[in-house]
Structure 1
């Protein structure tokens, strides 16, 4: 069965969605795109050869009757659009964050369950090759029992997306309850819940801004540094979101009873910390070479992937799409559980309660 896919929201991320879907023509094809700005929908349809484009979401649903709707709009519209898509008989793929708060996430899950439809969320990094390799090593017992996790996600406010929101005080990010954090810390927290299995662990959040306040509007209220501690019954975690640390990092460290594992999502490497195996001072010399060999092997794997045309930016997104589509057509398990969606949404609510953005201006 080839699924009919419709996409609403024709910003930059929609390009990535379309490109990855077009790599799996036996599973799915994009039949239509929609945007409030008809010109946006038209230009993406022309560039990718998509048959139809709309500026009315309801009309697209009525005419195209898609099997799956990908929602790639700003988060404020996710609840409304996902609800309409589900009511029209479609499954939904929602870009992160799913919705603005835990209550809305629960509502969408309830709607999907009642309608017999499925939903997933754009946590594509959890399906990148390094994440897959990490789970393989853990499954083989290399790590032992997880004890502690460090999750880090860096953001460059000088980059194209950062410059856009700092250049416009009315940018939609400034209207989110958690502003910059709200649009990004899914990537921080969804890695933590894989190891901290508690329903509602103890969460402590500290947030602040390192930027100079110079606009006199909502941009000055936006916090840009966040630290989160999570204490579960068996595993603890520390999360860092930083807009100023350079280079911007995106990594996960998992401390286990046998080994400590480092997953770098930027360089796409998975390494184990080397430990001294020889006595005296020589034992402190060897681990650096062991570590260097580990990175050399990881680099070799990446070269091999590149040679196979299997080293591309959205490889995790492609894998997530495939798993989600299989859950629809073959009855396979959802790639991301509703339980994890709820737990991440709960953590985000708790973080924004402890670090409210409206108190940022002094």
Structure 2
């Protein structure tokens, strides 16, 4: 049973997501941490001078890795060699070869490596998936996933602003996972365009990615960070044969009033969604499915962790484990290869 966890990396993601998620799970105890920047005390657990010392002195059941991607392979390897399960931030690794090596190490150690792909565990997305299976939605045919993100000096701090594969490498894992989650399948091909108007070595602030699934089903991903505009963290539209579902991440208090042009009846619509919303539309009718809490990222991470721990306790492979995360890593690589080749499609074997 996993009870004791240690954390490597105490920066923004750890403080905003992982540590708040741990506080939601009273059966887990954080027994120590490490960060290269040597943060001040005040975390409520001891800090160590190295990951090796952290592992040797605390002997945790699970190691959280919340560090830049170029350190994920080495730290995951240390965790597995110390007999830990590993809960790692995305992406799993920077190279497919590293992911395959981790799979061998995990099998030899009898431990699991899980990537924090928490978006399907957000209430708005899980509610949308449940509603799709009920009468009135039909068969899912097409998905659009769109982000309009405002880039600031704060968002580009550290490794993020230095990586020319900035956008799709950092956020693409989430939208690729969501597309596969809603279709319950891996794509059969991927094609991408990533124009870089600021120059060939500039970050990929515009990603236009098409995923083809079996049965003439498609997903379109548009991640746009080119210029300041209305910030939309993630909007998803799920087109079914009988209705559509729209989800949106981002708090809002919105009121609308007007005249329905079809029925000639007045309407008033007030929407309060602190962290996000999901709604189904069928012609002029709207059905509210779910809202998300304002702390939707730590909340979703805690929900994912709950399912991970339950699977480990049952002796089963947990969600977001190595096979799934390696497939997403292959899709990331194929997207960048397609973009470098002028947008030519890449066949993908699930």
Which bin holds the TM-score, normalised by the shorter protein? 0.7 to 0.9
Q: Which residue of 2 aligns with 1:305?
A: none
Q: How does 1:112-131 map to 2 (within 5 A)?
A: 112-131=106-125
| 8 Å Cα contact 2:115/2:321 also seen in 1 | no
* Corresponding residue number in structure 2 for 1:321: 305
Query: Residue 55 of structure 1: CA displacement?
Result: 2.0
Which of 259, 262, 276 is the aligned partner of 1:282? 262
For 2:185 and 2:119, the matched residues in 1 are separated by 22
Q: Give 5+ residue unaligned stretches, structure 1.
A: 165-170, 270-277, 303-308, 358-362
Tell me the TM-score normalized by structure 1: 0.77
1:8 shift after superposition: 0.4
The aligned residue for residue 5 of structure 2 is: 5
Q: 2:246 aligns with which of 262, 281, 300?
A: 262
- Determine the structure 2 residue equivalent to 1:207: 194
Q: Which runs of 4+ in 1 moved over 4 A?
A: 174-177, 196-200
User: 63-72 or 123-132: which moved more?
Assistant: 123-132
CA separation of 1:6 and 1:354: change in aligned 2, threshold 3 A = same
Q: Structure 2 vs 1, CA of residues 316 and 331 (structure 1 numbering), >3 Å: closer, same or farther?
A: same
Distance verdict in 2 for CA 1:268–1:140, change over 3 Å: farther
Going from structure 1 to structure 2, the CA distance change for 1:154 and 1:118 (only over 3 Å counts) comes to farther
Q: Which residue of 2 is the match for residue 18 of structure 1?
A: 19
Is 1:182 equivalent to 2:169 in the alignment?
yes
Q: Are 1:69 and 1:92, in contact at CA under 8 Å, matched by a contact in 2?
A: yes
1:1-362 alignment, distance < 5 Å: 3-15=3-15, 16-25=17-26, 27-37=27-37, 39-40=38-39, 43=40, 46-50=41-45, 52-158=46-152, 160-162=154-156, 164=157, 171-173=158-160, 176=163, 178-196=165-183, 199=186, 201-210=188-197, 212=198, 221-234=202-215, 235-243=217-225, 244=227, 246-267=230-251, 282-283=262-263, 289=267, 293=269, 296=271, 311-313=294-296, 314-331=298-315, 334-356=318-340
* Residues matched between the structures, number: 315
**Offset at residue 354 of structure 1 (A):** 2.3
Q: Which has the higher helix share?
A: 1
2:56 and 2:233 map into 1 onto residues whose CA distance is: 44
What's the CA shift for 1:36? 2.2
Distance in structure 1 (CA, Å) of the matches to 2:129 and 2:203: 35
Helix, strand or coil at the partner of 2:42: helix
What is the rounded CA distance, in whole Å, between the counterparts of 1:123 and 1:255 in structure 2? 23
1:296, distance to aligned residue in structure 2 (A): 3.7
Counterpart CA distance in 2 for 1:124 and 1:137 is 19
Cα deviation, residue 310, structure 1: 5.8
1:268 CA displacement: 8.4
Gaps of 5+ in 2: 254-259, 278-291, 342-350
**What is the CA deviation profile of residues 237-274 of structure 1, one whole-angstrom value per residue up to 9, with x for unaligned ones?**
100111135223402111111211111122489xxxxx
